[in-house]
Structure 1
Amino acid sequence: MTPEMISEIAKQGIYVTILVLSPILGIALVVGLIISIFQSVTQIQEQTLVFVPKILAVFLGILFLAPWMLNHLLNFTQNIFANLSNYAG
């Protein structure tokens, strides 16, 4: 296994990780921003107000995006196993 192969596998792994996690992080960011705007407008400065909507939004995002996320992770894993002889040999 050459250093180029290792760096290519690492690059693909990082790409898949960012691709899979970015929608969930985006959902959390948008919900946090909406709650922050709501807190600024109403002058409610309760710190715990942000957590419950964010957790629910992330949970719903994972629930709806799970098949898409799993598909990308399975494709990456199948690619690794399909080329295992190239990596080990």
Structure 2
Amino acid sequence: MMTTDIAGDIVAQGVKLVLIISMVAIVPSLLVGLMVSIFQATTQINEQTLSFLPRLVTTLLVLIFAGKWMITQLIDFAQLIFQQAAHLVG
């Protein structure tokens, strides 16, 4: 039987997974953006593409290399949800 505690746990697991997966893609881009900003501040170069392209490339590289892990985590979570749903309904 589905209770509020079980529903809360499922939602908490989902939110935790979303945060972990999004942080894997966001944190490297944030670090590269910080390094580019420091470089722009020290050299006083204010080119917009200089701040955008390294972050874009970093995000794409992270998605290429960590994409399989991200998809695996999402599939495992979906399978867990369906297995729990089968037990909770009956």
**TM-score, normalised on structure 2?**
0.90
Matches of 1:33 and 1:22, distance apart in 2:
16
Residue 31 of structure 1: aligned partner: 32
Residues paired across the two proteins, number: 89
Residue 21 of structure 1: aligned partner: 22
Matches of 2:3 and 2:81, distance apart in 1:
15
Determine if the alignment matches structure 1 residue 61 to structure 2 residue 59.
no
CA deviations over 1:12-62 (Å, ceiling 9, x no partner): 001111111111111111110110011011111223421111111101100
Residue 78 of structure 2: aligned partner: 77
In the alignment, residue 66 of structure 2 is paired with which amino acid?
A: L
Structure 2: give runs of 5+ residues left out of the alignment: none
Residue 12 of structure 2: aligned partner: 11
Give % identity.
36
Would you say the 8 A contact 1:5–1:87 is kept in 2? Answer: no
